Structure 1
Amino acid sequence: MDLFKIDEVAKECGLTKRTIRYYEEIGLLPSPQRSEGNIRLYTQEDIERLKKIVAAKDVLGFSLQELQYYMQAADQLNDQRQNYRQHTERFSPEERKNKLIEMNQTLDEQLLLMKRKISSIRTLQAELEELRVRVRQGLAKLDQEIGKES
């Protein structure tokens, strides 16, 4: 298993070392293993998790609280999926159905968070578009006034 130092991880994920340490501190990223010299050593899985965090933060504009909730739901879903895959043959059809219902509920929670964020973005977009219409109307009026004065 390849292990990476914090400098390499920061560069790969487009984050600062300070941000990575902060994400560890608040629980977004599990504390990594350490070398004998107490240097943080990250796995490829840690890097992928950080990339997922960065994407949720950048693309959806999640706050830290939203990121924590989103990542907890992602972890829960991952655990549910692994459990389902590992034990499918041992589960009765009813148990499989219940497991799938749990996964569906977790997905619903994640999607609801995204829908709320997208709705907020659309509301802001609509406000800006309305303002742009008013500005353009003002410009058109001024163009007419300037044209009459010439």
Structure 2
Amino acid sequence: MVWLKIDEVANRTGLTKRTIRYYEELGILAPPERSEGRVRLYTDAHIERLQKIVNAKDVLGCSLQELQLFNSIGSTLDAQRQDYKLHYKDSADIAERKSRLLEMDLNASKQLELIALKIDKIHELRTDLEDLRIRIREGIAKLDDERK
């Protein structure tokens, strides 16, 4: 496994070291391993997670609180997936397997709802900006007509 120090992670993600440590504090990013000298040692998985966080913030406009909620739901879903693989995938108890899958489906649905809400807000903002642009262009056209 390749270990990366916080400077390398900051360079690869475009985030500051302070931001990376803050995300750890909030629980949005899993704490990394530490060397004997207590230096943080990150992996490629940390970089991938940070890139997802940046995308969620930039593309969806997620707040840190929303990222925490999204992360907690995602962590629950990941844990359920692992638990299912380890204990229920080959289980003969169909009812128990179905129950686990239904629980996973509920958590996936929660994540999709969060994303749908963000998309709706983005669409509203776009509509507002398009309406504003129309009014601006009408004002410009009116001024051009008055000049003639």
| Both proteins in one fold, TM over 0.5 | yes
Give the corresponding residue for 2:79: 79
Give the corresponding residue for 1:58: 58
| CA RMSD, 1 decimal | 1.3
1:140 aligns with 2:148: no
Cα distance, 1:91 vs structure 2: 4.9
Name the amino acid aligned to 2:74: A
Q: Which runs of 5+ in 2 are unaligned?
A: none
**Larger Rg belongs to:** 1
Q: Which runs of 5+ in 1 are unaligned?
A: none
TM-score of the aligned structures, taking structure 1 as reference length: 0.91
Is the contact between residue 53 and residue 71 of structure 1 (CA under 8 Å) also seen in structure 2?
no
Matches within 5 A, 1:123-138: 123-138=124-139
Give the corresponding residue for 2:46: 46
- Tell me the matched-pair count: 147
- After superposition, give the CA deviation of every residue in 1:44-80 in whole Å (9 maximum; x if it has no partner): 2222221221121111110000000111111111111
Name the amino acid aligned to 2:111: Q
Cα distance, 1:12 vs structure 2: 1.5
Secondary structure of the residue aligned to 2:90 is helix
Give the corresponding residue for 2:118: 117
Name the amino acid aligned to 1:142: L
Segments of 4+ moved more than 4 angstroms:
none
Give the corresponding residue for 1:93: 94
- After superposition, give the CA deviation of every residue in 1:69-96 in whole Å (9 maximum; x if it has no partner): 1111111111111222222112511112
Cα distance, 1:146 vs structure 2: 0.9
Q: Distance in 2 between matches of 1:138 and 1:47?
A: 48
Secondary structure of the residue aligned to 1:89 is coil
